[in-house]
């Protein structure tokens, strides 16, 4: 359980850094600063995903207290063809596509600290990091529009 607590602390740190890098998007006083319905949906999906993920992570650590870790966890994703199918998809999306997408697309949109989403995904969840990226992107579009 110590490893989970360590991951939780690092996850909270990455979330704090997310808000630090994007503080201008979360200040009031600009047209469009209110949360849009699609942004709220991104946050809702992200929070549900991290809740479900952590529920299963806690179960995993309780079931495998001595073997629990990144290597064992990853091997468990490939224990049968069905798990391997979704496992390889998740690994490819999280390890390759998410960082490529956020670090190429984010700066084009004016987002800062785009490397952080991949790091965040390692300590929270892929869906959580992706949800925060999409929410920040949604806010950034409105923020840029308010500046024009």
pTM: 0.92
Who's near 70: CB < 8 A, 6+ residues apart? Answer: none
Range with lowest mean pLDDT among 23-32, 66-75, 91-100, 122-131: 66-75
8 A C-beta contact, residue 94 and residue 70 = no
Q: Hey, is 123 helix, strand or coil?
A: helix
11 C-beta neighbours (distance < 10 Å), count: 22
Q: For residue 17, what are its two tokens?
A: 């850094």
Q: What percent of the chain has pLDDT over 70?
A: 100
What's the number of CA atoms in the CB half-sphere (13 Å) around residue 72?
10
Rounded to the nearest 10 degrees, the angle between the axes of helix 2-21 and helix 37-63 is: 160
Q: Hey, is 148 helix, strand or coil?
A: coil
pLDDT attached to residue 2: 83
Who's near 145: CB < 8 A, 6+ residues apart? Answer: 32
Going by the DSSP 8-state scheme, the letter that residue 92 receives in this structure is: I
Domain positions in the chain are 2-147
15-59 pLDDT, tens digit per residue, is 999 999 999 999 999 999 999 999 999 999 999 999 999 999 999
pLDDT attached to residue 18: 95
Average pLDDT in the 1-17 region? 91
128 C-beta neighbours (distance < 10 Å), count: 26
Q: What percent of the chain has pLDDT over 90?
A: 90
Who's near 4: CB < 8 A, 6+ residues apart? Answer: 57, 58, 61
């Amino acid at each position: 359980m110590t490893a989970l607590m360590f991951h939780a602390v690092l996850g909270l740190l990455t979330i704090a850094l997310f808000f630090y890098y994007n503080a201008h998007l979360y200040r009031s006083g600009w047209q469009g600063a209110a949360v849009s319905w699609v942004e709220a949906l991104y946050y809702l999906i992200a929070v549900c995903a991290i809740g479900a993920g952590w529920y299963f992570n806690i179960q995993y650590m309780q079931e495998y207290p001595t073997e629990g870790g990144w290597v064992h966890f990853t091997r468990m994703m490939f224990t049968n063809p069905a798990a391997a199918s979704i496992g390889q998809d998740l690994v490819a999306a999280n390890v390759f596509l998410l960082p490529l997408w956020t670090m190429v697309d984010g700066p084009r949109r004016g987002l800062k600290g785009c490397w952080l989403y991949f790091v965040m995904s390692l300590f929270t969840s892929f869906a959580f990091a992706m949800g925060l990226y999409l929410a920040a992107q949604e806010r950034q579009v409105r923020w840029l529009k308010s500046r024009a």
